[in-house]
Structure 1
Amino acid sequence: MKEIVFTERAPRPVGPYSQAVKAGSFLFIAGQIPINPETGALVEGDIKAQTRQALENVKAIVEAAGGSLNDVVKVTVYLRDMGDFGAMNEVYSEYFNSSKPARAAVEVSNLPKGVAIEVEAIAYIPGE
């Protein structure tokens, strides 16, 4: 069974996709960029501020699906500049300190709306 997940606590999709799709116990979270869901505006600031907002968006979506960040099993981080890796990792470790998912970090030439980071995730949320 496939279910579309949506929450007002994360930004509305900026294109023809869902915030997340739950398929069985797996939750596939679309790439989240640093958009403040309350204002719809991009978060201004350095990579730490942008990372924090992107991860808050991921957190809101996984919680809307009935899970927590502890249920995240895989994360992909897209960075416009791999030089930001250390600062991103600092903030990332605040969100994933006890339960560390598998992760890839990739430098890309550009990201939507010119942001410095995009984060996508997969969670495993067992049913009742």
Structure 2
Amino acid sequence: MPRQVITTPNAPASPLYSQDVKAGPHLILSGIVGMEPHTGKLAGDSIQAQTRQAFSNCQAILQAGEADLDDVLEVGILLTDPTDFAGLNEEYTRWFPTDPPARYVTKLGVDLPGLRVSIRTTAYVD
């Protein structure tokens, strides 16, 4: 099955990974952080601000792959500080208010200054 790399200027990018890879009906997004795509700066210091921006970035990438958050099957979340869990959930429920996708949350293994969260998703599109 061939794979297609999906990119958008409306989300942060790196030469080290693809924002999104589509294989068949699956879209697999890399770990996306709460960085503003046009400034290259983190959206703020709070877990809520960075989670909001990370999901906004995920949404932009999904749209580039002709999908949206309703198509998300799984969300993987990496937190730099486990005590941010409640703040993460506060923002998360705004993006998935009903029938949320499968999810896991774990601790991010690398230390990047100021970074609080990284979010990856898998979506299914027909």
TM-score by length of 1: 0.91
Q: 2:54 is matched with which residue? A: 54
Q: 1:12 to 1:109 in 2, by over 3 A?
A: closer
Counterpart Cα distance in 1 of 2:101 and 2:33: 19
Calculate percent identity across the aligned residue pairs.
36
Q: 1:8 is matched with which residue? A: 9
Give the gaps of 5 or more residues in structure 1. Answer: none
Following TM superposition, the consecutive aligned residue runs of length 4 or more in structure 1 with deviations greater than 2 angstroms are 108-114
Counterpart Cα distance in 2 of 1:89 and 1:103: 11
**Are the equivalent residues in 1 in contact too, given 2:75–2:102 (CA < 8 A)?**
yes
**Are the equivalent residues in 2 in contact too, given 1:70–1:99 (CA < 8 A)?**
no
Counterpart Cα distance in 2 of 1:17 and 1:107: 20
Give the gaps of 5 or more residues in structure 2. Answer: none
Q: 1:9 to 1:105 in 2, by over 3 A?
A: same
Q: 2:27 is matched with which residue? A: 27
Counterpart Cα distance in 2 of 1:109 and 1:27: 24
TM-score by length of 2: 0.92
**Are the equivalent residues in 2 in contact too, given 1:5–1:61 (CA < 8 A)?**
yes
Query: Counterpart of 1:12 in structure 2: which amino acid?
Result: A
Counterpart Cα distance in 1 of 2:39 and 2:108: 27
Deviates more, 1:111-120 or 1:53-62: 111-120
- Residues paired across the two proteins, number: 125
1:115 Cα deviation after fit: 0.4
Secondary structure at the aligned position of 2:45 is classed as coil
Query: Counterpart of 2:77 in structure 1: which amino acid?
Result: V
Q: 1:112 to 1:26 in 2, by over 3 A?
A: farther
1:45 Cα deviation after fit: 2.1
1:89 Cα deviation after fit: 0.6
Counterpart Cα distance in 2 of 1:108 and 1:16: 18
Counterpart Cα distance in 1 of 2:41 and 2:35: 6
Counterpart Cα distance in 2 of 1:24 and 1:4: 12
